[in-house]
Amino acid sequence: MIESSDFRNARIPLNHGAGHIPVLGFGTLIPDLAVTMNATRDALEAGFRHFDCAERYRNEREVGEALQAGVAAGGIAREDIFVTTKLWNTNHRPERVEPAFEASLERLGLNYLDLYLIHTPFAFQPGDEQDPRDQNGNVIYDSGVTLLDTWRAMESLVDRGKCRAIGLSDISLSELLTIYEAARIKPAVVQVESHPYLPETELLEFCKEKDVVFLAFAPLGHGMRPGPLEDPVILAIAARVGKTSAQVLLAWAVQRGTALLTTPKGADRARENFNISALPEDALDEINRIQTRQRLNDVVKTGSPGFIPRVQST
């Protein structure tokens, strides 16, 4: 349950007493390292306290440096910052999990993580190459490890006290059920693509029932054009309530009970994305009636990140 009617300060409690996750999160999937540092500092200054990273993004060090500089300048305590990073597919074997975790921790310049996620349910060939391919260009998967094997190693990180909570990303409800039922430490967070074109209602209801935080990435449709930002329903509501399309989409996400990640790359956009407020109920109903269905990221099929539009409208 979201605590606070002020979305900017709203938090959701994590299960097994692992603290709270700020509802509004800053995603760090930014290829340019200089932009990463500036955008992270701008997000912190705008008010964001939840930062989502990943080994795969290859910019943990830059995010860490920006956070340390921003925290020092703003007199912010480490305990006020919620930092997530993710285990990449090439490190699913249990003996690789802790070294990968420690390497991310070192790059981020932290002595503990608030949340560690399995980036995708797919295990790739172990090694230093993040995107192992065969001679035909096909991903080389690792059949020698199960997702449950990896989860057991993740649980050990919590036992050691350096990671407060663990979860999964880019996962389907059926895959989540398998882990949830077998887990000694239940997933605290599930991070998946979600927006009005991909509401993932069944997964959201399961998460609510089990006290798992549903964390939506690409809540603005990842900037795809055309996409949710240009949907006539969203545009009409934005004009009616005096907000931008982005603010409408983010408010909808919060009001349906999810945390979210957005990646503003400038100070003005960071302030816009952070300054959201509740929509009237009739606006929520209008958004919920949108019929377009569109998945933007096919990572759930292969484990390889990438935003590929596949539109099916009804």
Could you give the residue numbers annotated as active site?
57
> For helices 173-182 and 201-210, what crossing angle results, to 10°?
20
* Cβ contacts of 118 within 8 Å, gap of 6 or more: 86, 87, 92, 147, 150, 151, 154, 166, 167, 168, 169
Provide the 8-state DSSP code for 141.
Answer: B
Tokens of 106: 């070192």
Task: For 137-163, give the secondary structure using H, E and C.
Answer: CCECECCCCCHHHHHHHHHHHHHHCCE
Helix or strand holding residue 252 (H, E) = helix 245-255
Tokens of 207: 């998460």
Tokens of 133: 């391919």
Tokens of 254: 């919060």
> For helices 232-241 and 281-288, what crossing angle results, to 10°?
170
In this structure, the number of other CB atoms found within 10 A of the CB of residue 144 comes to 11
Q: How far, in Å, CA of 147 to CA of 179, rounded?
A: 8
Say if CB 276 and CB 245 are below 8 A apart: no
Tokens of 237: 């509501």
